[in-house]
Structure 1
Amino acid sequence: MNVATLLLPARERFGGQRLSEATGRWLARAERSGFEGDPAARALDVRPRGWPVAAASRQRDVGDAGQALWLRADPAYIRPDINGARLLAYGEALALGEADAAALLQALKPLFGDAGFPLDAPHPARWYLRLPAGTRLPEFAAPEHALGADLFDQLPDGPEGRRWRTLLSEAQIALHHHPLNAQRAAAGRAPVNSLWFWGAGRLPDRVSSPYARIASDDEGLAALAHLAGARVGPLPPAWPGESAGEALFDLRAARDLAMLETAWFAPLRAAVQGGALAEARIEFADGVRYTLRAGQRWRFWRKPLRSLAAPLAGDAAE
């Protein structure tokens, strides 16, 4: 059965944006249900439970994750401000070349090597620490959740957290004095003045997914989906017009409702009504799911929704 699922952010992220008449009517006639948990995590069954991005991406990059404990230590740009400091860019956004990454790592490897955490960068945007078995780690914030936030609210605390705060401070000192950052500043580019620790864990015993295809720009989701054997690729700019089996499209970064309606909702509606898709599902991060099928067009008594936050009349009766 050909099914397409769209992952969207929480409905509140669209603010007061209004639905078009066509989309409002389509959603009003759909089946609406609730679910618990992160919809992205629900897309993959990871055993044991967790989200070990570092190990999954290491396996995808190099193939040597094995049973080691891995931690991402990605290059980052942090800007001080009047209230503290904020993470403004990391990884791919810094556009480092291989020679740039090698030069920066040359200054950092002794620091982490002395701590017992070998550091390397098989990809200029993805840096890894291999940790000894039994290393106790604090909770690290994923960088996409920390972007723009006060740095000190995002750093780990507690006894284990203090150790990593100290290592981070020492790494920042080494990077601050690195000549490459002077060159980047002269060229109007953001310096690499910090690291971001995240994604700790070991390679899962098993990862499975009901989706044959997963399109996402979230590298954690993509790396774990790769372990599940799904066909993984970047998110296309619009509905690609085909879906063999079950496909997932990760649109959690979307904020423009008009763009979604034009690029995704309208062509999906046509695919469902024309029989190319058996159904389409729209799952919001706040736990609301719309399931859309061709036969629902006869629910003409339902009034079109005006916004994504509007209640769906008749839910209890369906």
Structure 2
Amino acid sequence: MSLTVRSLQLWLPALAHFEPGHPLREWLARADRLAAGGKGYFGGLADHFSSVDAKLTAAAITRQFLAGDAADGLWLSADPAWIQPDMNGVRLLACGRMQLDRDAAQALAEALRPVFEEVGMQLEVSTPDHWHLRLPADISLPDFAAPAQALGEDLAQHLPQGPEGRRWRVLLNDIQVLLHQHPLNRQRQARGLSPVNSLWLWGGGRLPTGITTQFGGVISDDVLLRALASLAGITQQARSPETIATSKAGSLIDLQDLPARDIATHWWPCVQPLLEQQPVLLQFASGERWQRKPWHRWRVWRRVGR
């Protein structure tokens, strides 16, 4: 952690996503530029919590948050995903947030459970978007890429490699065949929804200890961020206009997963008063950081684009 958190902090999408006419740009023009922070999803998490990097044992952390039974177990995230072939390979187009309800998730998982049970693994549907594998204690895990690292890219670049990874590649192939044949996916496609035609395996390991943060609370819809907050012993709340409007100094408001246009149309009315009333640190997913204080509104000589 590179700074003591005294201000309310906004975690925002990459700065390039905010067009010149976005209301945030005017406020940013009068703020103070700070040293850059971490880039990307895991770079931001590492700024906010100790002992976080791309090899974070996210599966055990999120399972503990969602089900409370991860202690002393070995876990691997197996989140529902959509992959699609193209001329250059097969790409991961979505992971989680697949518009599944509980019944649909359980129906898909039920078709896959025998495949996992044959190799001593137990598939758990923690939520429709977050599935977990309970693993044998003695299993060896290769490196798995997090979804944030692989979205939009060719799967071949991110699947586990070498002899150790072969069993997992075979397992994934079996999963994809079963999901491709599942009647629920034909129904989804008929309704204009993306098929759930793969699982994304990542974040394997045991529940860590010693996760700390200098924040006093987190407001977010991101399950891993909320799970880290819970593990660090601070308050965590779902994102809503009400929770944002009542947030206090020392809290982190997570907006980095939202399109910039949604921030302008839906969230700006509750964010703008915060910038007027108290110091706010703005950190972008692309690493840039600014400090905005209420008195900065008098810097009328600063213009958007500077």
TM-score above 0.5, yes or no: yes
Match of 2:248 among 234, 244, 247: 244
Which of 66, 70, 79 is the matching residue for 2:75?
A: 70
Hey, what does 1:132 align to over in structure 2? 136
Which of 268, 274, 279 is matched with 2:274 structurally?
268
Tell me the SS of whatever aligns to 1:95. coil
Aligned positions of 1:107-146 closer than 5 A: 107-146=111-150
Structure whose alpha-carbon radius of gyration is higher:
1
| Larger CA deviation: 215-224 vs 235-244 | 235-244
The alignment's C-alpha RMSD in Å is 3.2
Change (3 A) 1:71 1:280: same
2:165 paired residue number: 161
Tell me the residue number matched to 2:7.
3
| Map of 1:224 onto structure 2 | 228
| 1:293 maps onto 2:299 in alignment | no
**In structure 2, distance between residues paired with 1:129 and 1:221:** 20
Q: Give how far 1:271 is off.
A: 0.9
CA contact (8 A) 2:49 2:212 kept: yes
Q: Which residues in structure 2 correspond to 1:140-219 (within 5 Å)?
A: 140-219=144-223
CA apart distance, 1:163:
2.2
1:184-243, Cα deviation, whole Å (9 max, x unpaired): 344443332211111212111122222222112222112111212222223335883333
State the SS of the aligned residue for 1:270. helix
- Could you say what secondary structure the match of 2:257 adopts? coil
2:48 to 23, 36, 43: 43
* 8 Å Cα contact 2:280-2:291 kept in structure 1: yes
The 2-side partners of 1:107 and 1:235 are apart by 34
Q: Which runs of 5+ in 1 are unaligned?
A: 273-278, 311-318
> Cα deviations across residues 116-143 of structure 1 (Å, max 9, x unaligned)?
2222213232211122234332322222
Q: CA, structure 1 residues 185+121, in 2 after alignment: closer, same or farther (shift >3 Å)?
A: same
Instruction: Say whether the 8 Å CA contact 1:86–1:148 is kept in structure 2.
Output: yes
* Cα deviation, residue 295, structure 1: 5.2
Cα 1:285–1:184 change in 2 (3 A) is closer
Question: Residue 112 of structure 1 aligns to a residue in which SS?
Answer: helix
Aligned length: 297
Alpha-carbon distance in 2 for matches of 1:205, 1:49: 17
What is the aligned-residue identity percentage?
39
Task: Work out whether residues 2 and 243 of structure 1, in 8 Å CA contact, stay in contact via their aligned partners in 2.
Answer: no
Cα distance in 1 for residues equivalent to 2:276 and 2:179: 53
Q: Secondary structure at the match of 1:181?
A: helix
Alpha-carbon separation, structure 2, partners of 1:61 and 1:86: 29
- The structure-2 alpha-carbon separation of the partners of 1:162 and 1:149, relative to structure 1 and needing over 3 Å to count, comes to same
CA contact (8 A) 1:72 1:127 kept: yes
How far 1:15 sits from its partner (Å)? 6.0
Q: 1:283 to 1:188 in 2, by over 3 A?
A: closer
- Given that 2:28 and 2:292 are in contact with CA atoms closer than 8 Å, whether structure 1 keeps it comes out as no
Structure 1 residues 35 and 297: alpha-carbon distance in aligned structure 2, compared to 1, 3 A threshold: same
Structure-1-length-normalised TM-score: 0.79
Cα shift at 1:144: 3.7
Q: Distance in 2 between matches of 1:111 and 1:153?
A: 25
* Shift in Å, 1:60: 1.6
Q: State the Cα distance separating 1:282 from its structure 2 match.
A: 1.0
Deviating more after overlay: 234-243 vs 175-184: 234-243
Structure 1 residue 262 displacement after superposition? 4.0
- Residue by residue over 1:296-316, the C-alpha shift from the partner in whole angstroms, topping out at 9 and shown as x without a partner, is 567x5x952533xx5xxxxxx
Contact 1:48/1:206 (8 A) holds in 2: no
| Distance 1:225-1:157 versus aligned 2 partners, 3 A rule | same
Superposed CA deviations along residues 161-192 of structure 1, whole A, max 9, x for unmatched, are 32211110011112222233333344443332
